[in-house]
Amino acid sequence: MGDKRIVVVGAGVVGMAAACYLRREGHEVTVIDRLPPGRACSFGNGGAISGSALIPLSYPGVAWKIPGWLFDPLGPLSFRLAHLPALLPWLGHFLAAGRPARFAKIVDAKAALAISCYDGWAPLIKDAGIENLVRHTGVIHVYRDKAAFAADSLPWQLRRERGLSFDELGAGELRQLVPGLSPDYTHAAFEDHWRYVLDPYLIVTGLADHFRALGGCIVHEEVRGFEAGPEGVRRAITDRARHVCDAAVIAAGAWSNRLSESLGDRVPLEAQRGYHVTIPQSGVELRHLLMDPGGKMGVTPMAPGLRVSGTSEFAGLDTAPNLARARVLITKARKLFPALKAEGFTEWAGDRPALPDTLPVIDRASRHANLFYAFGHSQLGLTLAGITGKLVAELVAGRPPSLDLAPYRAGRFRGRAA
Ligand SMILES: Cc1cc2nc3c(=O)[nH]c(=O)nc-3n(C[C@H](O)[C@H](O)[C@H](O)COP(=O)(O)OP(=O)(O)OC[C@H]3O[C@@H](n4cnc5c(N)ncnc54)[C@H](O)[C@@H]3O)c2cc1C
């Protein structure tokens, strides 16, 4: 049984999953967040637990696609010009990550995590009693036609090579499964192993309730830094208190590098802002999670309504969201579902913690043996929270981790293209 006093910074889905795993091992765990659990990026994601998400954002040839996305008013990607100078080092690493040899290694590292994602989630979901929030319906990836599917062959080829099965659907089957889908979409791929959640916010609050029931403590404070000595970090300093600790975990989402940098690990983390609209009475009959690879968005039939989520905006963490980008998602969703009614929709923006190779950092700090990192999950924080929590608990205990953690090291960007 663990006997350490552990501080976890961040009550998003990643921090709460790590805290639950650590508490289950018997440690005395305090989660510190300036917000209540699940109020930052983990609040409004698309809800997918995607066990075959192995394509990084950067891939061979991506550089040629970026201008087209940027100039498309409905496009999935945007930058704010004022943020471009700060973003350049990240972009350098991003393009380097798309070189073929590096890309192949990143895909393997993403696959190792994604394929283990349900193993990481299963005990948490069961013990937290939140099975009722998880749907195992599989996912339908829709394409305009077979040619569009063939043009997007890379992810499917990589999945096939890893034994991740899928079925192609023709127009008839697709219409049966998704009756309101526009007849412009005539081809699809169906993967039955994906799950989705009915409300990602309730997943985090469910974990938080479970954590408290196990005796864990959550405090609403802002961590300003750590006091460290020769044996590592000793105290987390917040705006209100000093929390003595034997170990600490930084799971502070898109803000994590602000803390890791002061502790000796500089990581090129950017906020990859995404948006959603949630439509309470959309009139769309949808029983599955639906992905639109062409439009780069997902449509999820959630408890609060139909959620349309996507887009990537690199604007810096401290800028206000441009909610017009959320409303663009309604226009795009009407291409899928022409009869969609949008009355009463709510809009939201969240900052995904994005590293240029789309792999998270799951590691021990370089200078402090009792400090651990769990951040940078980009588009997959919900998917990977469970397995990340499990790996963090293994790292803290000094047990051999269930996966080779070399690809997720904080120091992997040192000496690479900047
Ligand atoms: C539009 C959109 C759709 C998405 N869809 C999916 C999806 O379908 N499936 C999927 O797997 N992922 C999806 N994601 C990604 C997923 O939501 C994120 O990867 C995930 O929420 C990140 O979780 P986190 O716990 O690392 O960060 P967060 O949820 O942002 O939590 C970090 C917490 O740290 C706290 N914090 C930061 N600094 C400090 C400090 N100094 N002191 C105290 N507290 C601090 C913050 O207040 C915050 O609560 C989506 C994201 C977006 C934006």
pLDDT in tens, 14-46: 999 999 999 999 999 999 999 999 999 999 999
228 is a domain residue: yes
20 is a domain residue: yes
pLDDT value, residue 414: 85
d(Cα 382, Cα 298) in Å, to the nearest integer? Answer: 14
Number of domains the chain contains: 1
318 is a domain residue: no
Q: What are phi and psi of 417, to 5 degrees?
A: -50, 130
d(Cα 235, Cα 248) in Å, to the nearest integer? Answer: 9
Mean pLDDT of 68-89: 80
Mean pLDDT of 178-189: 97
Which structure tokens are listed for 251?
């799971």
CA of 167 to the centre of ligand 1 (A): 32
d(Cα 388, Cα 221) in Å, to the nearest integer? Answer: 24
| Residue 158: CA count within 13 A, CB half-sphere | 19
Domain that holds residue 122: 5-135+194-268+357-413
Residue 409 Cβ < 6 Å to ligand 1: no
**pLDDT digits over 226-264, tens only?**
999 988 999 999 999 999 999 999 999 999 999 999 999
**Sheet hosting strand 28-33, strand order edge to edge:** 217-220, 28-33, 5-9, 247-250, 371-375, 361-364
pLDDT value, residue 73: 65
151 is a domain residue: no
310 is a domain residue: no
**pLDDT digits over 309-343, tens only?**
999 999 999 999 999 999 999 999 999 999 999 99
pLDDT value, residue 416: 58
Residue 13 Cβ < 6 Å to ligand 1: yes
pLDDT value, residue 62: 82
**pLDDT digits over 65-78, tens only?**
777 777 676 666 78
95 is a domain residue: yes
Mean pLDDT of 273-287: 97
Which structure tokens are listed for 15?
């921090």
73, β-bridge pairs: none
C-alpha distances in angstroms, 369 versus 224, 248, 263, 366, 398?
Answer: 20, 10, 11, 7, 10
pLDDT value, residue 63: 79
pLDDT value, residue 418: 39
Nearest CA to ligand 1 atom 31: 12
Contact (Cβ atoms closer than 8 angstroms) between residue 6 and residue 31: no
The CATH code of the domain that includes 69 is: 3.50.50.60
| % of the chain with per-residue pLDDT over 70 | 98
The pLDDT of residue 109 is above 80: yes
CA dihedral sign, ordered 374, 299, 201, 52: negative
Residue 255 Cβ < 6 Å to ligand 1: yes
Mean pLDDT of 125-130: 98
282 is a domain residue: no
> Could you tell me whether strands 77-79 and 134-135 are parallel, antiparallel, or unpaired per DSSP bridges?
unpaired
263 is a domain residue: yes
CA of 127 to the centre of ligand 1 (A): 22
Contact (Cβ atoms closer than 8 angstroms) between residue 289 and residue 137: yes
**pLDDT digits over 374-408, tens only?**
999 999 999 999 999 999 999 999 999 999 999 99
Element (H, E) at 127: helix 117-128
Element (H, E) at 249: strand 247-250
The three-class DSSP label of residue 360 is coil
